[in-house]
Copies of this chain bind each other. A is one copy, B any other.
């Protein structure tokens, strides 16, 4: 007996929603592990997460899904033409089929070896970083790239192996496109950063290294994140060591931060950043939770939302013309004698540095470019893992004008490769690029965002993002969405224009 397609579609959705209930339970345990769990509980928690991951994987590779999706993809509900392709129903079928097809392409043995290798490699990486000993990590990294090549080959690709890997994080994105845009970005960015480094005019960055009591930081970060629109009735802010944002359900978004008493930026901009991720999650349609129309498009688009609130809004003069008086109330000792202009300069201090996660808005993208170019070369076997530290240091010299004194502060600083995350780094820069491009479109359509910020009005921008980006879920790819929202394909120009506009006066450039 053949079921009508609507009935098959309903079964499919019920199945996916149940899987999402389990996946959200997994997220809850993961959140707890990183914010609340007592130290000795780690081993049992790992067992729990392994069991849940297994149950979820089983459900996501359930052969019934393949049957249902095969039938639906060939039928009228998948209606592949024109705007119909972006409908919720067509999107659900298309995206679930995409995920299912990818999943079953990977042999179980490869999945297990990737997991095992990542676990061993992360452990080796932690030790290697502590001991500044790249050699001990080298065989793990070689093995990782070997397996990633096998993964790419199993998944298949049109242009390059790298495409097959990027696709996990930025679905549909191509290396050739990334290379083009990021090369343009590099060409404009390197001279700008070098000019700033050479400038005699510098803000007094010691202002933000004064003493900011943690209770007051917590209070102020909460106020600002609530004001820009993170909904605390549907979310929480907690403390962790490596901040993140995670969703535990359609009305349960958890953001995290960490406090440094003598560094204002860490918690404040970190909270705005995570709140930006959270506002995206909270803007997804709850009635589609656990299904593609209610899920984020890509890491790049997700990152665009966090960077937009953190940098384009949170580091703007207008934002602080609203918030600075309150900041002075919260931190009378540190900021009582500071002018708005001096503070604005300090939070926009640009200087080449070694560590990606501590980099400023401008130099950050150069850190990403280096990693992007190196991981492409490694994957293509054009660079030997043994030669990686030298290649790393040379690129830092060329792009940032500084050279890491050791591998711990160089090639060993990031966890990503050890965790098998190859093709992930460019999504950070994509986030910055998308953010500027979206911001310009919003600014034009809403007519002068800065004037709104100065009045403490953030709801118009948030609503605009909700309408134009969040509520679409996965109905458009990132590339389609950028064109739909901004009328143009992805480009380096808006970000460069934004940085020049802001930094030229601060650093006395022409």
Binding site for B on A (CB under 8 A): 18, 21-22, 24-25, 28-29, 32, 36-41, 43-45, 47-48, 51-52, 232-236, 248-252, 289
Contact = CB atoms under 8 A, between A and B. Distances in A.
B37 A252 contact: yes
Contacts of A24: 44, 48
Contacts of A25: 25, 29, 48, 52
Contacts of A45: 249, 252
* Number of this chain's copies in the complex: 2
Most buried by B among A22, A249, A250: A249
27 contacts: A21-B48, A22-B51, A25-B29, A25-B48, A25-B52, A28-B28, A28-B32, A36-B36, A38-B232, A38-B233, A38-B234, A38-B235, A38-B251, A38-B252, A40-B233, A40-B234, A41-B234, A41-B248, A41-B249, A41-B252, A43-B251, A44-B249, A44-B251, A44-B252, A45-B249, A45-B252, A48-B249
Given A21-B51, A25-B29, A36 B236 contact: yes
Nearest to A31: B32
Contacts of A250: 44
Nearest to A248: B41
Contacts of A18: 51
Contacts of A43: 251
A20 to B, nearest CB: 10
Contacts of A235: 38
Contacts of A51: 18, 21-22
A119 to B, nearest CB: 19
Given A38-B232, A41-B234, A41-B248, 19 more contacts: A21-B44, A21-B47, A22-B51, A24-B44, A24-B48, A25-B48, A28-B28, A28-B29, A28-B32, A32-B32, A37-B252, A38-B233, A38-B234, A38-B235, A38-B252, A40-B233, A40-B251, A44-B289, A45-B252
A42 to B, nearest CB: 8
Nearest to A234: B40
A146 B81 CA distance: 60
A23 to B, nearest CB: 10
> Could you tell me the dominant secondary structure of chain A's interface residues?
helix
A294 to B, nearest CB: 12
Contacts of A249: 41, 44-45, 48
Contacts of A232: 38
Contacts of A21: 44, 47-48, 51
A355 B249 CA distance: 38
A245 B129 CA distance: 40
Contacts of A40: 233-234, 251-252
Nearest to A22: B51
A22 B40 CA distance: 19
A475 to B, nearest CB: 22
Contacts of A41: 234, 248-249, 251-252
A506 B32 CA distance: 47
Most buried by B among A41, A234, A248: A41
A41 B248 CA distance: 9
A41 B28 CA distance: 12
Contacts of A44: 21, 24, 249-252, 289
Contacts of A289: 44
A43 B52 CA distance: 22
A178 to B, nearest CB: 36
A252 B45 CA distance: 9
A44 B22 CA distance: 11
A236 B38 CA distance: 7
Contacts of A248: 41
Contacts of A236: 36, 38
A36 B249 CA distance: 14
A312 B27 CA distance: 42
Nearest to A289: B44
